[in-house]
């Protein structure tokens, strides 16, 4: 099986075929939407008063046109067929979504551009040869820019990433300074572009894929309904008050995706990657929720920000706590991340079992998470046996004791349940009650509800092969 980022020879030939399909599809659908809007007796405009101060910069037609070159090249530069397929789907969905919006909610650019001559004027004349002052929100230029920015940044390194960022900024700015779009078209384009990235990820799990371990319950639908109600209230307020209140549509979109994550029981909707970071698409779409979730985690743990030492087995200490900062991460040799909804600082050897907040883990999930944590624990035990040299470690801790942190957003429920499941499954304790007692003694404010305890008690007892229970 080819890795998602492994180069595959001959991909450019398939890319050329995709370009031959996308190019006519782009011009035909874009032109049809333009003609449809032009045929209407009245097409509204959404423009803020301050936009009249935006200057017309003829030179910005150069970065404006450059996106066509980058569009075509991107299909020839894909590393392998998987990346090409995802890139093709992104570009295709961008066109479908944008053109659908143009047809359902046609808008018109309201400024009259003066006549321009010279080199830059020529490029404006060519543009006006097939474009008209319609097809406004979302700006298809911005939608495609988001997709292409993500593509070229992934294919760049070092200073080249900065060049991609700079030129992308110029392209984004040019939709205003060429007098092609009003401001509202830009945030609309950013959201649609991010949605296309999110729907067809390259380096994270697709939102279309379900996990057989994640079974839906009444609690999922209950929490999903809360987020859905918040979405409806924010949307209704934005559409009623309009003007600056339209910004409320941003958190509404963010919460609608969270509602879907709970309704479908898919923690990977947040697109947290193996390195602990969220994808660019996830950050753009869910930034309001991420800010709220982070603030919530800090407020709830304000009185108890410290991590708690739960047990020590030989020279390995196991701590339980809230999601750490980058500096706090350096206090541990390895960490185990249970938090799907927040980014976290992870190293290559760290492990994850990502789950949704406030949802009890079922027996299958607990068993899988406990196995993952046991792998991490055995790696640390082996490090002790091998007398690893601390000078070869990137952490600031020494080898006197190997420190492991298991955490979720607050360090109250999910991580506590997984730790209790591991202790019971590996016969570190003789009962679930003993496991919970150890955790509550070290961290009295943990919350492990009766329903969660029942799931832990249903676990099968496992012993590491060729090993006796850890005591």
The DSSP string of 241-302 is H-GGGGGGHHHHHHHHHHHHHHHTT-GGGG-B-TTSPBPHHHHHHHHHHHHHHHHHHHHHTS
* pLDDT for the residue 265: 93
Q: How far apart are CA 239 and CA 249, in angstroms?
A: 9
pLDDT of 350 > 70? The answer is yes
Render pLDDT for 120-157 as a digit per residue (tens, 0 to 9).
Answer: 999 999 988 888 899 999 999 999 999 999 999 999 99
* pLDDT for the residue 460: 79
Helix axes 140-154, 280-300, angle to 10 degrees: 80
Mean pLDDT, to the nearest integer, of 37-42? 93
pLDDT of 1 > 80? The answer is no
Alpha carbon 80 to its chain centroid, in Å, reads 22
Mean pLDDT, to the nearest integer, of 289-304? 95
Torsion-angle region of residue 384: left (phi > 0), alpha (psi -120 to 50) or beta? Answer: alpha
Q: How far apart are CA 380 and CA 395, in angstroms?
A: 14
Nearest-CA neighbor of 150 among 201, 98, 95?
Answer: 201
SS3 category, 134: coil
Burial 154-165 (b: 16+ CB within 10 A, else e): beeeeeeeeebe
pLDDT of 77 > 60? The answer is yes
What stretches of 344-449 show up as alpha helix (H) in DSSP?
Answer: 363-385, 414-425, 432-442
> Cβ(380)–Cβ(319) under 8 Å?
no
The residue with tokens 């910004």 is: 247
Q: How far apart are CA 87 and CA 94, in angstroms?
A: 11
Q: Where are the domains of the chain?
A: 11-199, 218-301, 308-386+401-458
CA triple 343-344-347, angle to 5 deg: 135
Question: Is 338 an annotated catalytic residue?
Answer: no
Q: How far apart are CA 69 and CA 76, in angstroms?
A: 11
pLDDT of 87 > 60? The answer is yes
pLDDT of 333 > 60? The answer is yes
DSSP 353: E
Render pLDDT for 408-465 as a digit per residue (tens, 0 to 9).
Answer: 999 999 999 999 999 999 999 999 999 999 999 999 999 999 999 999 999 977 555 4
The residues facing 319 across adjacent strands are: 309, 405
Mean pLDDT, to the nearest integer, of 354-363? 94
* pLDDT for the residue 7: 84
Q: How far apart are CA 235 and CA 232, in angstroms?
A: 5
The burial of 130, by beta-carbon neighbours within 10 Å (0-12 exposed, 13-18 middle, 19 or more buried), is given as: exposed
Give the confidence band of 467 by pLDDT, cuts at 50, 70, 90.
very low
Render pLDDT for 165-201 as a digit per residue (tens, 0 to 9).
Answer: 999 999 999 999 999 999 999 999 999 999 999 999 9
* pLDDT for the residue 214: 75
| Residue in 196, 339, 408, 470 annotated catalytic | 408
Q: How far apart are CA 223 and CA 357, in angstroms?
A: 10
pLDDT of 232 > 50? The answer is yes
Return the structure tokens found at 272: 């947290």
What are the residues whose beta carbons fall under 8 Å from the beta carbon of 2, sequence distance 6 or more? 8, 80, 81, 82
Give the confidence band of 468 by pLDDT, cuts at 50, 70, 90.
very low
Return the structure tokens found at 471: 């005591």
Return the structure tokens found at 253: 């979109």
Q: How far apart are CA 311 and CA 438, in angstroms?
A: 8
| Residue 402 φ then ψ, to 5° | -85, 125
pLDDT of 212 > 80? The answer is no
Q: How far apart are CA 343 and CA 271, in angstroms?
A: 10
DSSP 40: S
* pLDDT for the residue 461: 73
* pLDDT for the residue 5: 73
pLDDT, the chain, mean:
92
User: What are the CA-CA distances from residue 267 to residues 194, 429, 439, 451 (Å)?
Assistant: 18, 30, 25, 20
pLDDT of 391 > 90? The answer is no
> Pairing state of beta strands 316-322 and 308-313?
antiparallel
The helix or strand, by DSSP H or E, that contains position 335, with its residue range, turns out to be strand 334-339
User: What are the CA-CA distances from residue 2 to residues 208, 281, 380, 408 (Å)?
Assistant: 20, 24, 31, 33
Q: How far apart are CA 283 and CA 266, in angstroms?
A: 17
What are the residues whose beta carbons fall under 8 Å from the beta carbon of 193, sequence distance 6 or more? 94, 138, 142, 143, 144, 145, 146, 147, 284
pLDDT of 389 > 60? The answer is no
Of residues 7 and 137, the one with the higher pLDDT is 137
pLDDT of 387 > 70? The answer is no
Cis peptide leading into residue 297 (ω within 30°): no
Nearest-CA neighbor of 37 among 95, 101, 102?
Answer: 102
CATH fold of 308-386+401-458: 3.90.190
* pLDDT for the residue 466: 39
* pLDDT for the residue 8: 86
């Amino acid at each position: 099986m080819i890795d998602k980022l492994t180069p595959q020879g001959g991909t450019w030939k398939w890319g050329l075929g995709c370009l031959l399909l996308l190019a006519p599809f782009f011009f035909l659908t874009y032109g049809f939407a333009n003609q449809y809007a032009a045929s209407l007796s009245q097409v509204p405009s959404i423009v803020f008063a301050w936009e009249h101060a935006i200057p017309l910069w003829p030179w910005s037609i150069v970065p404006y046109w450059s996106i066509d070159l980058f569009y075509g090249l991107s299909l020839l530069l894909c590393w392998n067929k998987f990346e090409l397929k995802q890139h093709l789907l992104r570009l295709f969905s961008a066109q479908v979504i944008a053109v659908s919006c143009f047809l359902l909610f046609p808008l018109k650019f309201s400024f009259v551009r003066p006549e321009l001559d010279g080199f830059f004027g020529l490029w404006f004349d060519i543009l006006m040869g097939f474009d008209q002052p319609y097809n406004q929100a979302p700006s298809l230029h911005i939608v495609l820019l988001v997709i292409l920015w993500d593509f070229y940044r992934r294919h760049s390194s070092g200073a080249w990433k900065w060049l991609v960022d700079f030129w992308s900024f110029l392209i984004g700015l040019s939709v205003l300074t060429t007098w092609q779009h009003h401001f509202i078209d830009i945030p609309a384009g950013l959201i649609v572009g991010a949605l296309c990235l999110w729907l067809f990820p390259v380096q994270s799990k697709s939102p279309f894929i379900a996990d057989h371990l994640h079974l839906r319950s009444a609690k999922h639908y209950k929490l999903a309904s809360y987020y859905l109600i918040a979405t409806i209230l924010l949307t209704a307020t934005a559409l009623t008050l309009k003007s600056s209140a339209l910004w409320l549509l941003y958190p509404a979109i963010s919460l609608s995706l969270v509602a879907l994550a709970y309704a479908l029981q898919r923690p990977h909707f947040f697109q947290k990657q193996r390195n602990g970071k969220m994808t660019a698409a996830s950050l753009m779409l869910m930034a309001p929720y991420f800010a709220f979730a982070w603030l919530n985690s800090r407020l709830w743990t304000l009185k108890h920000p410290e991590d708690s030492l739960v047990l020590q087995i030989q020279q390995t200490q196991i701590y339980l706590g809230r999601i750490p900062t980058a500096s706090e991460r350096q206090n541990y040799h390895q960490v185990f991340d249970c938090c799907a909804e927040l980014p976290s600082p992870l190293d290559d050897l760290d492990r994850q079992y990502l789950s949704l907040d406030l949802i009890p883990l079922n027996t299958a999930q607990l068993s899988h998470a406990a196995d993952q944590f046991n792998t991490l624990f055995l790696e640390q035990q082996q490090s002790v046996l091998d007398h690893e040299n601390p000078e070869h470690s990137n952490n600031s801790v020494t080898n006197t004791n190997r420190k492991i942190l298991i955490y979720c957003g607050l360090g109250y429920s999910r991580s506590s349940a997984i730790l209790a499941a591991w202790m019971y499954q590996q016969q570190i304790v003789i009962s679930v009650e003993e496991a919970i007692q150890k955790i509550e003694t070290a961290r009295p404010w943990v919350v492990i509800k009766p329903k969660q305890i029942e799931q832990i008690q249903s676990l099968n007892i496992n012993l590491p092969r060729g090993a006796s229970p850890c005591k």
